[in-house]
A and B are shown apart, each in its own frame.
Chain A
Amino acid sequence: MDWKGYTVIYVVLFAFATAQAVVEFAGLVDSAYWAAFALIMVLSVIKAVGVAAYYQHLRWEPRAVTYLVLGGTVAALALTGAAAYSIL
């Protein structure tokens, strides 16, 4: 990927970060908390995937590297999810 591609990614990341703050400034967090929560987290996930796929070049690496990363992520999510569920 050349610098132009990287720049496009950068602009998108910047815009999404701004969008997250806008959700808050617009008062959505107060009026519809869980909708805002979902929206903001989805934006974060998209940003993270973007950084990993393009800036960290996971797109061009063997899939095994992605699985390695997913392994860690799934472990962390399992811990968080099951632990939180256990006290609901």
Chain B
Amino acid sequence: MSQEHEHGLPPKSSVSRWFLTTNHKDIGVLYLITALFFLVFGGVLALLFRLELISSGADLLGSMGYNQAVSTHGLLMVFWFISPFAFGFANYIVPLQIGADDLAFPRLNALSYWLYLFSGILMGVSFFQGTTFAGGWTMYAPLNTPAYIPGEGLGATSVVLALIMFTAAVTLGSVNFLTTMYRMRAEGLRMRDIPIFSLSINLTVWMMLFAFAALLAALMILASDHILGTTYFQYSIDGTTMATDADNPGASLLWAHLFWFFGHPEVYIVFFPALGVMAECFQTFTGRRLVGRKWFIISMVLVALQSFVVWMHHMFLTGINLPIKTIFMATTIGISLPFDLMVFSLIYTMAKGRVRFTTPFLFSLGALILFIIGGITGVFLGAIVLDYQFRGTYWVVAHFHYVMVAGATALFGGLYYWYPKITGKMYNETLGKIQFGVYFLGFNLLYFPMFIAWETPRRVFVYPDGLQIWHSMATAGGFILGASFLIMFYNLFMSLWRGEDVGPNPWEYATSAEWAVSSPPPLENFPGVPSYATGKLEFLDDETVTERTERAPGAAAHGHAATDGGTATDGGAVTARAAATATAMEPAHETAGEEHASHASFWPFLVSLGGFIAFLGLSGVRTGSVFYLSLAAVGGVATFGSLVGMTREPFHAPEMAIAERWPFERVEKMKLGMWTFLASDIVLFGAFIGSYAFVRVAYGWTAWHHDLIPAEHVTMPGLINTYLLLTSSFLVVLAMVAAERESKRGTVAALVGTFALGVGFLINKGLEWQHLFHISTEAFPNGWGLSTNIASSTFYLTTGLHGAHVTIGLIICAYMTIRAWNGAYQGDDRAIEYFGLYWHFVDIVWLFLFPLFYIL
């Protein structure tokens, strides 16, 4: 396996390596460094407003300056620092721990990283567009809409778009990690047996997959309110009360629901990787297996599930009804129970083992202590009556910093823990311990006084005089905490040169697989195919693998491929199938046995750069400025061109020859990736439809149709489009059947038919919209446009999102038609099948949009 070492990549000392790489370890390092940069960015903002808070009043930053600093601090830390930092480790460590040579889709992984980086740059650019977003990290409506934002609000739009880009990165990452973990585990490695850090990442990405889809919906709607002029989050009141006289009474609660449906899982998304690191460090530095490991895992699974049913504890002071508040109080208290179990498990592990107080252990232990304080204060907030007092105060601020930054604390422990693995050098232990001391002191001095000064209203720069002493302490603590990072950066930087070289395993009791290979590990991770079949980690050589795959007919049926770079296995049907499969959606010159394919790709960078330019342009198109319009156009073309380039680039990442794949044994990786993506798309559309249902319920379900929708909006165009889509779905299936029978003419004809029907769908929709835009009736003298009312907004945006899905499908369909014309897919219909999965999904969505928007 070790002939071609660098997979077409330049050496690490070359700058171009880092732009071209798709290797998970390189990308992990990129994530870590970038995330630390955003930590500094967000941290400096925090120090600024801590300075401001030395005394009451906004005499340093000014009121708008203060609001911007607080809001972007929150956004940067939650989105651009903490999870990406955790995913730096996840990228680096998870494949090693589960015995994979990389993630399932290496180029998508690179794409995730670049989208993340450019989203952060867009966030930075927003500061220079007048003002950036200033409405708090929770972005509550209606203060998140242009009408309520001082000035032009372009910076705020950029922030929304940056978040969309970030979310796209997260979604791709979730799909990638899930596919990897279910298709590429070393033989014999059951899900429950994978190291606890990887397990925590697995649960994290599950939560991400669904939660971020809801956030994406919220952000897309918000972006549409900003750019297209829909009115989801705005309302005007022409009577006396919001509930009866507003034209869109659901507006601000809708945001709260969408945001917190994402937001609560998000806090565990932040915390789970930290929990994983803590568990690893506790095991390694006590020399004991986690006590009650099974229950620890069950608790994590429970929390991951429950995290989706507690979100309304963030809405106790809104107008939601008492029964639902009570239910959510119960679920909130319920979710703290599994956490108790995990905490006790960690404590017992420590009690039963022999502790060695290394820096990573100190950080893990510190994290545990901080988390306990944060968790207990959270339970206070979960009680409705107490929350009536605490809501919107520094109690909440103190609570969530104790838990969130406890998570960060554990992750810094992880940085020390894996530093020798990643760099091959040992950090300076004394400096590490000193940093911990300073950090822990600074942390508590910063956040504990906030509990005492809890009556301070959050996000406000004035507070009662008597509280000044606590705020001064907090400010001092903030600077001490900040200073501790100087020690850390110094230590880690200097150790790159001065640190002692380490072997594979510098920690006596570390047992997970990343410690079984050299530090840093070679590009392909393992000296053979990892296997736990005998109960302990072994590396199988190529011959054994070949022998095994040939002997076991089951393996062939599963479509296992030859391993990467090694002597190709028998090269027969199995390999060809797998090779074609691996690239079914990125078709190019895939020949079986093509070895040492290059793993360098510039396209992920270019796609993201294009996206960045396009989004920057979009942030200003509503001004009609030529500058912004041309940015949007250039960026759009660049993104599209790069995506085409990426699709056409040969890239070969075959599936492992032997792997543990429960419960997706028979679902090869492209298909699993597609299904996972579709699952998140279900939540995206679900949240759009849910938003529609919500604002309609808020308005009055049945009055809606009568008040807000013109009689000209009739059923017929919808019905015709239903027929068109159903028929096109049918044709995709026929294309599959034809490809299976190796009828090139049939395949091409069916695909052309699909394409034509899809185009017909769009034309029909265009005509319908044109008509509605320009009606002139008594009720709607100026037509029924996007901004006319909340019903028109939901109609155009929801069906528009669907139309965008159709358009993307048509582009893929056109591409596949050309390939089919050139003879592709004959005898191997899988690429068509995967496209079909997407296309049928779009069809299914329409099956619900049609009745909801045309009949009912």
B723 CB-CB contact with A under 8 Å: yes
Out of A6, A62, A75, A85, name the residue touching B734 (CB < 8 Å): A6
Given A21-B855, A80-B693, A83-B257, A72 contacting B210 (CB threshold 8 A): yes
Whole-angstrom distance between the Cβ of A3 and the nearest chain B Cβ: 5
User: Is there contact, CB below 8 Å, between A79 and B690?
Assistant: yes
Whole-angstrom distance between the Cβ of B639 and the nearest chain A Cβ: 27
User: Is there contact, CB below 8 Å, between A75 and B686?
Assistant: yes
Whole-angstrom distance between the Cβ of A34 and the nearest chain B Cβ: 9
- Cβ < 8 Å to A, chain B residues 722-752: 722-723, 726-727, 729-730, 732-734, 737
Provide the residues of chain A in CB contact with B301, threshold 8 Å: none
A32 CB-CB contact with B under 8 Å: no
Provide the residues of chain B in CB contact with A24, threshold 8 Å: 715, 855
What mask results when residues 55 to 85 of chain A are scored 1 for a CB within 8 Å of chain B, else 0?
1110001111100110111011111101111
Whole-angstrom distance between the Cβ of B653 and the nearest chain A Cβ: 22
Provide the residues of chain B in CB contact with A82, threshold 8 Å: 309, 312, 324
B451 CB-CB contact with A under 8 Å: no
Number of A residues near B (Cβ < 8 Å) is 53
B354 CB-CB contact with A under 8 Å: no
Provide the residues of chain B in CB contact with A33, threshold 8 Å: 702
Given A14-B723, A48-B848, A82-B324, A56 contacting B840 (CB threshold 8 A): yes
Provide the residues of chain B in CB contact with A25, threshold 8 Å: 715
User: Is there contact, CB below 8 Å, between A79 and B851?
Assistant: no
What mask results when residues 817 to 853 of chain B are scored 1 for a CB within 8 Å of chain A, else 0?
0000000000000000100110011011001101100
The distance in angstroms between the C-alpha atoms of A44 and B846, with both chains bound, is 10
Whole-angstrom distance between the Cβ of B573 and the nearest chain A Cβ: 21
Judged by DSSP, the binding face of A is helix
User: Is there contact, CB below 8 Å, between A48 and B847?
Assistant: yes
The distance in angstroms between the C-alpha atoms of A19 and B843, with both chains bound, is 17
B679 (CB) vs chain A CBs: closest residue = A72
Provide the residues of chain A in CB contact with B261, threshold 8 Å: 79, 83
User: Is there contact, CB below 8 Å, between A56 and B682?
Assistant: no
The distance in angstroms between the C-alpha atoms of A62 and B666, with both chains bound, is 7
Out of A2, A6, A43, A79, name the residue touching B686 (CB < 8 Å): A79
Provide the residues of chain A in CB contact with B665, threshold 8 Å: 62
Out of B689, B734, B844, name the residue touching A76 (CB < 8 Å): B689
User: Is there contact, CB below 8 Å, between B690 and A80?
Assistant: yes
The distance in angstroms between the C-alpha atoms of A82 and B723, with both chains bound, is 33
The distance in angstroms between the C-alpha atoms of A15 and B665, with both chains bound, is 37
B250 CB-CB contact with A under 8 Å: yes
Whole-angstrom distance between the Cβ of B242 and the nearest chain A Cβ: 12
Out of A36, A55, A86, name the residue touching B321 (CB < 8 Å): A86
Out of B679, B836, B851, name the residue touching A71 (CB < 8 Å): B679
The distance in angstroms between the C-alpha atoms of A21 and B850, with both chains bound, is 10
Whole-angstrom distance between the Cβ of A64 and the nearest chain B Cβ: 4
Given A55-B840, A72-B679, A76-B683, A20 contacting B690 (CB threshold 8 A): no
Given A51-B847, A61-B667, A62-B667, A13 contacting B726 (CB threshold 8 A): yes
B738 (CB) vs chain A CBs: closest residue = A3
User: Is there contact, CB below 8 Å, between B850 and A20?
Assistant: yes
User: Is there contact, CB below 8 Å, between A76 and B675?
Assistant: no
Provide the residues of chain A in CB contact with B726, threshold 8 Å: 10, 13-14, 17
Provide the residues of chain B in CB contact with A44, threshold 8 Å: 847-848, 850-851
User: Is there contact, CB below 8 Å, between A10 and B730?
Assistant: yes
Provide the residues of chain B in CB contact with A41, threshold 8 Å: 851
Provide the residues of chain A in CB contact with B667, threshold 8 Å: 61-62, 64-65
- Cβ < 8 Å to A, chain B residues 336-379: none
B452 CB-CB contact with A under 8 Å: no
Out of B686, B729, B732, B856, name the residue touching A72 (CB < 8 Å): B686
Given A40-B851, A64-B664, A72 contacting B737 (CB threshold 8 A): no
The distance in angstroms between the C-alpha atoms of A51 and B855, with both chains bound, is 21
User: Is there contact, CB below 8 Å, between A69 and B719?
Assistant: no
The distance in angstroms between the C-alpha atoms of A85 and B321, with both chains bound, is 8
Out of B321, B664, B690, B722, name the residue touching A62 (CB < 8 Å): B664
What mask results when residues 637 to 675 of chain B are scored 1 for a CB within 8 Å of chain A, else 0?
000000000000000000000000001111100001001
User: Is there contact, CB below 8 Å, between A51 and B679?
Assistant: no
Whole-angstrom distance between the Cβ of B808 and the nearest chain A Cβ: 18
Provide the residues of chain A in CB contact with B847, threshold 8 Å: 17, 44, 47-48, 51
User: Is there contact, CB below 8 Å, between A17 and B840?
Assistant: no
Whole-angstrom distance between the Cβ of A60 and the nearest chain B Cβ: 9
The distance in angstroms between the C-alpha atoms of A83 and B837, with both chains bound, is 30
The distance in angstroms between the C-alpha atoms of A57 and B675, with both chains bound, is 12
Provide the residues of chain B in CB contact with A6, threshold 8 Å: 730, 733-734, 737
Out of B321, B682, B689, name the residue touching A69 (CB < 8 Å): B682
User: Is there contact, CB below 8 Å, between B844 and A48?
Assistant: yes
Whole-angstrom distance between the Cβ of B854 and the nearest chain A Cβ: 8
B597 CB-CB contact with A under 8 Å: no
B813 CB-CB contact with A under 8 Å: no
B694 CB-CB contact with A under 8 Å: yes
Provide the residues of chain A in CB contact with B312, threshold 8 Å: 82, 86
- Cβ < 8 Å to A, chain B residues 221-259: 250, 253-254, 257-258
Whole-angstrom distance between the Cβ of A43 and the nearest chain B Cβ: 8
The distance in angstroms between the C-alpha atoms of A57 and B672, with both chains bound, is 13
User: Is there contact, CB below 8 Å, between B253 and A72?
Assistant: no
User: Is there contact, CB below 8 Å, between A76 and B682?
Assistant: yes
The distance in angstroms between the C-alpha atoms of A42 and B672, with both chains bound, is 29
Provide the residues of chain A in CB contact with B680, threshold 8 Å: 72
User: Is there contact, CB below 8 Å, between A79 and B855?
Assistant: no
Whole-angstrom distance between the Cβ of A66 and the nearest chain B Cβ: 10
The distance in angstroms between the C-alpha atoms of A83 and B686, with both chains bound, is 13
Whole-angstrom distance between the Cβ of A86 and the nearest chain B Cβ: 4
User: Is there contact, CB below 8 Å, between A86 and B678?
Assistant: no
Interface residues of chain A, those whose CB is within 8 Å of chain B, are 2-3, 6-7, 9-10, 13-14, 17-18, 20-21, 23-25, 29, 33, 36-37, 40-41, 43-44, 47-48, 51-52, 55-57, 61-65, 68-69, 71-73, 75-80, 82-88
18 A–B contacts from the bound complex (CB under 8 Å):
A6-B733, A6-B734, A17-B719, A41-B851, A43-B851, A48-B844, A55-B730, A75-B210, A75-B214, A75-B683, A79-B214, A79-B258, A79-B686, A82-B309, A82-B312, A82-B324, A87-B320, A87-B321
11 other A-B residue contacts (CB within 8 Å) besides A20-B850, A44-B851, A55-B732: A14-B723, A17-B719, A23-B855, A47-B847, A55-B836, A61-B666, A61-B667, A63-B663, A65-B667, A86-B321, A88-B321
User: Top 5 A-B pairs ranked by shortest CB distance?
Assistant: A76-B686, A80-B690, A72-B682, A86-B320, A64-B663
